[in-house]
Amino acid sequence: MRVNIPKLSLIGALVILSSSASGKNLSEAIENVDVSGTISYRYNDYESDKSAGKTENFYKAALNLSTKVNDDIKVSTRFLAEDFASNTGNEANKNVDVELSEANFTYLGSENLSVTVGKQAVVSPWTISRDSLGDENTGSGIYSVYTTDYVTFTGAYFNQTNFNTADISTWNGITGIDGSENFTMVGVTSSFAGLTLDVAYADLSDTFDTYTVGLAGSYDISGVNISPFARYTSLDLDNSSQDNSLWQLGLSASKGIFSVFAAYGETDKEGGKVSIDSSAKTNMDYAWRVTASNDADAAYTYIGGDVDVTKKVNLGLFYSNADYGSHSRADAKDLTNIFGQVKYKMSKNLVTYVRYGTLETKSEGTGMVGRLNIQYSF
């Protein structure tokens, strides 16, 4: 296990730091180190009646270590070993390097306030801060959270990010992102009467500015838990006059062993670029092979349901569709994905699921898609 080396060395470094800074003895310092993480593996299989089949292997190990240096300061780190970009079934298997993803200090000495400084996850509605098997958006800077009884304020400034490798760096009309751009974000979240309202604004220097408004609720009606949500996001590129926006609304409901979900959204007729990562909250990524992209004049539909047949086994059936209008890019083709899923929760920290279904692309026919996913959390 290549992860053991950085894990042991980092624990040792944290122990020395904690012991020297606060005068704690070695055994006490070790007890105060929190260790968590995930280990995930995924196998994908694609077959199409008009193209050659393809298999892919994805895997990722994440290790989080944190400890309190003293009553006011906590130090945190995250190590990653991952490969989910190119390890396909027609290539030789390869090993991956371990990299330091986060290294930061958090001040907790003031009531209701936390301030994190250093290399850290970029937490915002436009980004993915951590993912058990996928890209993560990180940056170097400062992130603060202040909480009152009913309102939470967030603010962040990063003078470096890894957005040059994020989904947005490949979108049409966006060029020149190299990670040196300043990213600034402010947000407010408030909860009242079963509703949660969040408003946020962000700016990536010389690239774009954007805002988003979200509303979510949770209600219990005759034993049915109902959770509606809605969100509107607008993003203006600095070097373009086109409007980019995406509005969406949806509903999840559950009663006993049954759960259902539905969502619908549309992009602007000029553009649909509204997130840094395509799996972020401002985008729509609620199924498998259909995700809201940067396409203009597109409509997205998601419908699904599942049932707990036992305490460990869950069965689900899901439908998703992307309908691209006349203002979309020329190569955008309508997509329809229908798949079934069997999820097996062997224990609370070990979950496996298998998916199999069809992916229909207009002008390219119907293909079969399959997936095996295993995740262990600690």
CATH class entry, domain 135-377: mainly beta
Confidence at residue 366, expressed as pLDDT on a 0 to 100 scale: 86
- pLDDT single digits (tens) 122-178: 999 999 999 999 999 999 999 999 999 999 999 999 999 999 999 998 887 787 899
- pLDDT single digits (tens) 55-91: 889 999 999 999 999 999 999 999 999 886 555 666 7
Grade residue 7 by pLDDT with cuts at 50, 70 and 90.
Answer: very low
SS (H, E, C) 106-138: EECCCCCEEEEEEEEECCCCCCCCCCCCCCCCE
Highest mean pLDDT of the ranges 158-172, 288-302, 306-320: 306-320
Q: Is the pLDDT of residue 331 over 80?
A: no
Question: What pTM did the predictor assign?
Answer: 0.89
Grade residue 344 by pLDDT with cuts at 50, 70 and 90.
Answer: very high
**What is the secondary structure of 331-346 as a DSSP string?**
T---EEEEEEEEEEEE
Distance (Å, rounded) from C-alpha 77 to C-alpha 265? 37
Residue 150 burial class via C-beta count within 10 angstroms: exposed 0-12, middle 13-18, buried 19 and up: exposed
In angstroms, what CA-CA distances link 83 with 5, 42, 93, 95, 145? 19, 10, 11, 9, 33
Grade residue 52 by pLDDT with cuts at 50, 70 and 90.
Answer: low
Q: Which range (44-53, 76-85, 293-302) has the least confidence? A: 44-53
Q: Strand, helix or coil at 27? A: helix
Q: What is the number of alpha carbons within 13 Å of residue 77 lying toward its C-beta?
A: 18
Q: What are phi and psi of 286, to 5 degrees?
A: -110, 5
Q: By percentage, how much of the chain surpasses pLDDT 90?
A: 74
Instruction: Return the C-alpha torsion angle 92, 93, 97, 98, nearest 10.
Output: 160
Distance (Å, rounded) from C-alpha 209 to C-alpha 322? 26
Residue 262 burial class via C-beta count within 10 angstroms: exposed 0-12, middle 13-18, buried 19 and up: middle
| Length of the chain, in residues | 378
Grade residue 2 by pLDDT with cuts at 50, 70 and 90.
Answer: very low
**What is the secondary structure of 70-84 as a DSSP string?**
SSSEEEEEEEEEEE-
Q: Which range (54-68, 212-226, 276-290, 355-369) has the least confidence? A: 355-369
The tokens describing 193, both together, are: 């009467």
Confidence at residue 17, expressed as pLDDT on a 0 to 100 scale: 45
Range 16-22 average pLDDT: 47
Range 352-356 average pLDDT: 98
Range 264-286 average pLDDT: 96
Residue in 200, 196, 308, 316 with CA at minimum distance from that of residue 255: 308
Q: By percentage, how much of the chain surpasses pLDDT 70?
A: 89
Domain ranges of the chain: 135-377
Distance (Å, rounded) from C-alpha 86 to C-alpha 67? 35
Confidence at residue 288, expressed as pLDDT on a 0 to 100 scale: 92
